[in-house]
Amino acid sequence: MGNKEKKVPDWLIKARNKWQFKGQNRPSFAQEPENGQVSVWDFPRPPALEKVHQEIAVYSDKICVAKTTNANAVMETAHPPSYYLPPADVNQNQLVPLPNKKSLCEWKGSAKYWALKTDPSRAIAWSYDNPFSEFKAIKGHFAFYPQYFDCFVDGEKARPQPGQFYAGWITDNLAGPFKGEPGTGFW
C-alpha cells in the first residue's frame, strides 16, 4: 500500500466487536490492584498506545540487543504491555528476518518476524511495516518476546506473559490475572 494509511477491513471490525472484556469493568476474577499497581483489566480494548520514557532494555547473554527511553507500550485488556522499540535503538546486526513467518493482529495489522543471527530458526521479535492507521506510531519498531531475553523496564527485570503465543512484559506494578494463564482461553 506504499505510503497510504492502511484501513481496517470490515470483517476485522466485526470480529473486534465480539470481544467480551473491553476494559470498562473488571470481571469478578480480576485481582484487586495493590498500592502502586494498575490492573491489566483497566487497559482498554482496542488497545491503547502509550509513549514510554522509562529505560526499556533487551539483553541476550549479556549482549545488549536493544535499549531506549523512547518506546511505545501497547496495553490491551488482560495483557501486560508489549514494548515497541524504535529501530534506531535496536542492534539490528544481531537480527535476521524470518521471511516465511507472518501473522495478522486484529488491532495492528500484518506482522513480520525476526530471529537472532545465532539462532535463525526461532522467532524472537516482530515488527509492523504497514500497521493499521491507529498504530502508525509503531511502524518499523521492534517488539521482543521476553521469554527469550533478559528484559528490563526501568531497571526491573520483566517476567514473560504466560503462554507461547503472547509477549507481554510483567512487572511488579501490574495486577492480573494475565491472558495466557490456564483457563484463560474464553477471554
Q: Is the pLDDT of residue 94 over 80?
A: yes
124-163 pLDDT per residue, tens: 999 999 999 999 999 999 999 999 999 999 999 999 999 8
Residue written as grid cell 518499523: 140
Rounded-to-integer distance, Cα 178 and Cα 162, Å: 7
Identify the pLDDT of residue 1.
43
Helix (H, G, I), strand (E, B) or coil at 35: coil
Q: Any idea where the domains of the chain sit in the sequence?
A: 34-175
Sign (positive or negative) of CA dihedral 40, 14, 128, 141: negative
In words, the CATH class of domain 34-175 is mainly beta
